């Protein structure tokens, strides 16, 4: 039994196409068209569309396999499915069905060797945050289930050391209440670090005055410092920072910006430039993007950018999804390139 699984796994790896065969996309993003059909799209850094693969419902984010031209497109919360796509052929390889009593949060990450896929999940009746583990070498069979370290695990990313960071947003939700937030008076988000094997190695909680500032989307720079985009759930008129940085073993460092209010208490995505020099935080509700000096945390001039949602690193700057394409650049300026102008992006830009 074990031997057969091993062989099947090996064969799958050998047969699978590499990203070059899918046109070597730089980015993936979910999108929908005017007829509400939903897609996973592969883009070059200049916005050229390499593929567009249908997915069964509104997507949120995707996870790209580190070697194979394979991606998992996650349904928008509280989605029950995730679709595995062969991005070279456009074929659907399979679907992940969340177990009974669970739904996906819309994010996940592969292990560095590409053997396992990890997904953030809501065990909504408990309630508890969990990480589902799926065997990418064996037809994405579910093989394990780990604690996420908090309520509402949202984005998880792989770190340079092969471990993972998980943003436990702190918000309790239940599909019976659709997207309503059920525990705002008592929520407390945290950032949790996992070893490459998935064991919790460190946790850092939001301090009391930032207890209602949900930690949801994260990125990491080359040194392993994690940055997180925040969504404020407290009194909407309270002024709060929407970016937090964290270095292992230290306290959370909240970074304010004079233009934070323009984001309407809601940071959509965050990215650090490849050289670590700049941090971008998008505000899709406010139609604004703000930048920070990646080394000092000092605020840099932001830009109005309608529907700016997904952001990913592009050299010393960023690519940001906007209506009709991508905005490329950083605090010094952005230029817009057309990409799949018939689509609306939803919600994240995933760098491969």
Partner 1 sequence: MILRPAIVLALCLLAGTAPAQIQNQAAPGVPLNNVHPETGLPYWAPGRGVVTHENIRRRALEVLDRQFGAFRDATGVLYRTAQAHCAGDASEEDLRTAFADAWLAWAPLDSYQFGPIEQTGAALTVNFWPDKKGFVNRGLRDLLAKTPEEQADPAVVAAGSAAAQGLPALEMLLFTEAPACPAVVGISGNLDRLAGELYDGWFADGGWADLARAAGPDNPIYLDASEFTKTLYTALDFGLTRIADQRLARPLGTFDRPFPTRAEAWRSGLTEAIIHAQLTGIAEMIEDGFAGDVREPDRAWVLKVIGQTHDRLDQIGQPIKDAVVEPASRVRVEGLQTKVHALQLEMDRDIGPNLGVDTGFSAADGD
Paired with 156 in beta bridges are 166
Dist CA 114 CA 137 (whole Å): 8
Please say which residue, 61 or 136, places its beta carbon nearer to partner 1: 61
Q: Which of residues 310-339 bind partner 1 (CB under 8 A)?
A: 321, 323
Our CB check for partner 1 shows the closer of 266 and 291 to be 266
Where in 77-116 is the site for partner 1 (CB under 8 A)? Answer: 77, 106
- Which of these ranges, 4-12, 140-148, 219-227, 229-237, lies near partner 1 under the rule CB under 8 A? 229-237
CB neighbour class for 58 (10 Å; exposed up to 12, middle 13-18, buried from 19): middle
Whether the Cβ atoms of residue 245 and residue 297 lie closer than 8 Å to each other: yes
Task: Please identify, among the stretches 5-13, 87-95, 231-239, 324-332, the one whose residues bind partner 1 according to the rule CB under 8 A.
Answer: 231-239
Nearer to partner 1 (CB atom), residue 69 or residue 187: 187
Residue 172 in tokens: 């309790």
Which of 12, 145, 264, 293 touches partner 1 by CB under 8 A?
264
- Chain positions 269 to 308 lying near partner 1, rule: CB under 8 A, are 284-285, 287, 307
Q: Which of 1, 176, 296, 335 binds partner 1 (CB under 8 A)?
A: 176
CB of 160 to partner 1, least distance (A): 26
Tell whether residue 182 is a contact of partner 1 (CB under 8 A): yes
Could you tell me the two tokens for 50? Answer: 């390499």
Nearer to partner 1, 10 or 186 (CB): 186
- Considering only 39, 213, 347, 350, the residue that binds partner 1 (CB under 8 A) is 347
Distances (CA, A) of 278 to 47, 98, 294: 21, 37, 4
Q: Please, what is the minimum distance in Å from the beta carbon of residue 183 to partner 1? A: 6
Query: What's 279-304 look like in SS3?
Result: EEEEECCCCEEEEEECCCCCEEEEEE
Nearer to partner 1, 116 or 218 (CB): 218
Handedness of CA 204, 206, 207, 211 (dihedral sign): negative
Cα angle 36-103-76, degrees, rounded to a multiple of 5:
25
Instruction: Tell me how far, at minimum, the Cβ of 235 lies from partner 1, in Å.
Output: 8
Instruction: Name the minimum Å distance from CB 73 to partner 1.
Output: 14
Residues 6+ apart with CB under 8 A from 295: 276, 277
Contacts of 89 (CB under 8 A, 6+ apart): 17
Minimum CB–partner distance for residue 179 and partner 1 (Å): 8
What residues pair up with 121 in beta bridges, in sequence order?
104, 130
Looking at residue 16, the DSSP 8-state letter turns out to be S
| Residue 52 to residue 280: CA distance in whole angstroms | 27
Q: Which of residues 95 and 285 has its CB atom nearest to partner 1 in the complex? A: 285
- Give every CB contact of residue 209 below 8 A, 6+ residues apart in sequence: none
Among 144, 177, 195, 222, binds partner 1 (CB under 8 A): 177
Residues within window 132-171 making contact with partner 1, judged by CB under 8 A: 154
Structure tokens at 98: 């969340």
Contacts to partner 1 by CB under 8 A:
32, 36, 58, 60, 76-77, 106, 125-126, 154, 176-178, 180-186, 216, 231, 233-237, 261, 264-266, 268, 284-285, 287, 307, 309, 321, 323, 344-347
């Amino acid at each position: 039994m074990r031997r057969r699984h091993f062989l099947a796994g090996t064969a799958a790896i050998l047969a699978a196409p590499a990203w070059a065969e899918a046109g070597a996309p730089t980015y993936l993003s979910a999108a929908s068209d005017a007829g509400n059909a939903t897609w996973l799209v592969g883009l070059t850094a200049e916005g050229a569309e390499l593929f567009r693969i249908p997915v069964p419902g509104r997507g949120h984010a995707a996870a790209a396999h580190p070697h194979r031209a394979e991606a998992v497109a996650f349904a928008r919360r509280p989605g029950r499915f995730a679709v595995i796509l062969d991005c070279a052929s456009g074929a659907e390889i399979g679907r992940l069905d969340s177990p009974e009593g669970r739904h996906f949060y819309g994010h996940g990450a592969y292990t560095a060797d590409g053997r396992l896929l990890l997904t953030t999940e809501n065990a909504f009746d408990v309630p508890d945050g969990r990480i589902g583990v799926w065997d990418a070498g064996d037809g994405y069979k579910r093989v394990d289930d780990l604690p996420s370290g908090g309520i509402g695990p949202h984005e998880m990313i792989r770190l340079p050391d092969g471990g993972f960071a998980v943003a436990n947003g702190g918000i309790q939700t239940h599909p019976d209440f659709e997207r309503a937030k059920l525990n705002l008076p008592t929520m407390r988000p945290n950032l949790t670090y996992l070893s490459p094997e998935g064991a919790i190695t460190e946790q850092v909680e939001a301090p009391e005055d930032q207890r209602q500032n949900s930690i949801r989307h994260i990125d990491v720079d080359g040194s392993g410092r994690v940055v997180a985009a925040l969504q404020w759930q407290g009194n909407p008129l309270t002024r709060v920072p929407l970016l937090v940085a964290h270095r292992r073993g230290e306290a959370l460092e909240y970074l304010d910006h004079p233009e934070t209010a323009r984001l309407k208490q809601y940071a959509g995505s965050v990215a650090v430039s490849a050289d670590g020099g700049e941090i971008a935080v998008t505000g899709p509700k406010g139609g604004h993007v703000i930048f920070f000096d990646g080394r000092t945390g000092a605020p840099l001039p932001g830009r109005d950018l309608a529907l700016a949602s997904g952001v990913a690193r592009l050299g010393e700057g960023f690519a940001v999804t906007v209506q009709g394409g991508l905005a490329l650049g950083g605090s010094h300026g952005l230029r817009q390139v057309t990409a799949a102008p018939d689509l609306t992006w939803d919600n994240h830009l995933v760098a491969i």
